[in-house]
Structure 1
Amino acid sequence: MRAFVFPGQGSQKVGMGAELADASTAARETFEEVDDALSQNLSMIMREGPEGELTLTENAQPAIMANAIATLRVLQRDFGVSLVDHGNFVAGHSLGEYTALCAVGSFSLSDTARLLKLRGQAMQAAVPVGEGAMCALLGADLEKAQKLAEAAAEGQVCEVANDNDPTQVVLSGHAGAIERAIGLVKDFGIKRGVPLPVSAPFHCSLMQPAADAMAEALAETPPGGLDLPLYANVTAAPVDDPAEEQRLLVEQVTGRVRWRESVLAMREAGVEHFVELGGKVLGPMIGRIDRDAATSSIITMEDLETLAKELTS
C-alpha cells in the first residue's frame, strides 16, 4: 500500500518549481491558475524572490501547495501516473492537508489557493508580531515535551504544536513562555531547544481568531468528496466524509499536528511506501518514525521519471 504526502510551511525556497515550469506545460498551467486565483504573480515570487516576501505566511502557504500540485500534475499528465490508481491514502503536514485535499479532488486548485492565502493572513493577524513564538525541541519525545510545556507556561500559553517524529517536537505559545521552555530543556532531559523563524505561534490556542476566520471561509467553500481517504492532522485517523473534514480543518488551526501518530497509523493500516510530492522534509521524518518504511521525496523531473518507472514497472 502507498500514501502520497504533502509538506508544510518551512519547505519553501526561492527557485521552487522553476525547473518543473521550464520543463512542463502541466506545471506552468498550475502556477498560472494559482496566480489567476489570487490576482497575484505568486509564481514570480517563487521563482525570483525576494526570500522575505516568499517567507510571508500568506505567500508561503499557497506557494508550497502550488509547487506540490504542480509536481502531482506533471506526474499525472507527463508520466501517466494517477494518484488514485497508485495510492491508497493521502496526508499533509499542516497546510499540506489542504494540498492533499486538492490532490484527491475535494477542493479545486483555485479554491485551495484562496483558502490558504486567507489562512496565512488570518494566522498572521491572530497574534501581534512579537507576542508569540515557536521552538523545536531536539531529542525530545512527546511526554518530555508536554512536561516541559506545562513547566514553562506560568499562566501563559505553551503547548505542543507539532509531534513530528520521535526526536523532534515543536512548542508554540507566548514568546515569554517559549523563551522559558528553551531555557529549561536540560532539566527535562531534552538535548536542545531551537527558536523557529516564524512570524506567529501556529497550532496553539492563541490561533483561535484564525480558526474562527477559517470556519467562516470553509462554510462558504466546503470540501467536497475525496477520491482517497485522508489521514487528518488532529486525529491521526482516516477521514472520507467531507463534513467531518471541514470540522477538522477548523480544529487544525489551534490543534496539534499529530504527524508521528499519523505515520504510525498509516503503517498499521498497511502502508509500506510514502511518496512526498514537492518537498524533501517529510521523507526523512518518516524514516525516523519507522526505519522500515520506504520513502520517496519528489521535487525534480528526474525524481518524477524515477518514480514513474518504479510505479509502472
Structure 2
Amino acid sequence: MSLAFIFPGQGSQAVGMGVDLAETFSAAREVFQEVDDALGQKLFALMRDGPETDLTLTENAQPALMAVSLAVARVLEKEFGVGVDRAAFVAGHSLGEYSALAAAGAISLADTARLLKLRGQAMQRAVPVGEGAMASLIGPKTDVALAEAAAAAGAEVGVCVVANDNNQGNVVISGAKAAVDRAIEKAKELGARAIPLNVSAPFHCPLMQPAADEMAQALAAATIVSPRAPLVANVTARPVHEPEEIRRLLVEQVTGRVRWRESIAWLVESGGVTRFAEAGSGKVLSGMAKRIAPDAEATPLNTPADLEAFAKSL
C-alpha cells in the first residue's frame, strides 16, 4: 500500500469541527492553543461555538481548517505513532496546500496560521465584495474542455477562467461577476448545470493578483524547509520538495488553477498511491478521489474513532 495524505480547502468548515478531537486528545488541544497564540485570536472558541457567519469569513475559515488538519496529523503521530513520513506524498486543495506543508514539517504551525490569516485577508481585499463571482459547473457532460469554452464566452466581457478542476463532472469557474454570469449561460447551453457559489471573492483567477503580491512578500520572509514527504502542487500537479520552488508555487497558486483531478491522477498513475487519507474537516476530497480513481481507497479522518481505525489498518 502506498499512502498519500490529502488536506481539505475552504468550504469544508463547520461549527463544531475539531471539538471531539480536543475533548479526547491533549495533542489536539495543543495545536488549537498554538494557533490561537499565533493569531492573538480565540479561533478555537469560534470553531466550537460559531457563529457560522464569522467562521465562514475567509480570514477565519482558512486558519481554522488548517488547525483541524494539523490536529489530526499531530494526534496520529503522538497518540498512534503514524507520522506524515509514513506517506509517499502529501497534497492539499487550495489552502489545504499550506496544511499539507505544515503537517510535513516544511512550515511551522505558527507561521502557517499567520500566513493563512493574511492570505484570507489579502484575497478579500483584492476584489470588492460583489464585483467577483465563482460558479460550479456540474453534470456528466462537464469536463475541463466544456468549462474552458464557457469561460471563454465569459471572457468576452471580463476576466473569467477555470479556477478548480476538481473531477470529471465538477469544474469551478471564477472571475468578474458579469463575465461569470455570461459563462454560466454558455455552460447551460453546452449541457452543464451551473451553480453560483456563495463566496466572498473570486479565488484562483487573475483578479487575485494583488493578493498574490501580498503573499509573495509574506512568503519571502517565511522559513520554508524541505517537507518530510513531497508535496504534489496545485498549479503543476507534480511533486515538489525544494523550498524555493514551494515558495514560488504558493504565490502562483493564488491566481492559478487548482489542478486537483490531475494531481490525484498523477498520484495514482505515476506515484503509485493506492490509498488516500483526508486529514481534517469533512470528506469532500475523499469523494473526489473516489470519482477520479475508483480503484483507490479514500478514508476521511474526522473523529477520534476514524483516527484509531485508520492507525490500526496500517
TM superposition score normalised by structure 2: 0.97
**Matched residue SS, 2:229:** coil
**Matched residue SS, 1:118:** helix
CA distance in 2, matches of 1:79, 1:267: 26
Aligned to 2:291: 288
The one-character-per-residue Cα deviations of 1:2-52 (angstroms, maximum 9, x if unpaired) are 100000000000001000001110000100000000000000000000000
The one-character-per-residue Cα deviations of 1:238-291 (angstroms, maximum 9, x if unpaired) are 001010010000000000000000000001120000110013110000111111
* Within-5 A mapping of 1:149-168: 149-168=151-170
Aligned to 2:182: 180
Q: Is the 8 A contact 1:222 1:246 kept in 2?
A: no
The one-character-per-residue Cα deviations of 1:168-210 (angstroms, maximum 9, x if unpaired) are 00000001111122222221121x1001010000000000000
Aligned to 1:10: 11
Q: Is the 8 A contact 2:150 2:184 kept in 1?
A: no
CA distance in 1, matches of 2:33, 2:194: 40
Aligned to 1:203: 204
Aligned to 2:122: 122
Q: Quote how far apart the aligned CAs of 1:78 are.
A: 1.3
Aligned identity (percent) is 61
Q: Quote how far apart the aligned CAs of 1:222 are.
A: 3.8
Root mean square deviation, CA, Å = 0.8
CA distance in 2, matches of 1:48, 1:209: 33
Aligned to 1:303: 306
CA distance in 2, matches of 1:247, 1:306: 37
Question: What are structure 1's unaligned runs of at least 5 residues?
Answer: none
* Within-5 A mapping of 1:247-266: 247-266=248-267
Aligned to 1:83: 84
Q: Is the 8 A contact 2:157 2:178 kept in 1?
A: no
TM superposition score normalised by structure 1: 0.97
The one-character-per-residue Cα deviations of 1:77-125 (angstroms, maximum 9, x if unpaired) are 11121221x2110000000000000011100000000000000000000
Q: Quote how far apart the aligned CAs of 1:223 are.
A: 1.7
Question: What are structure 2's unaligned runs of at least 5 residues?
Answer: none
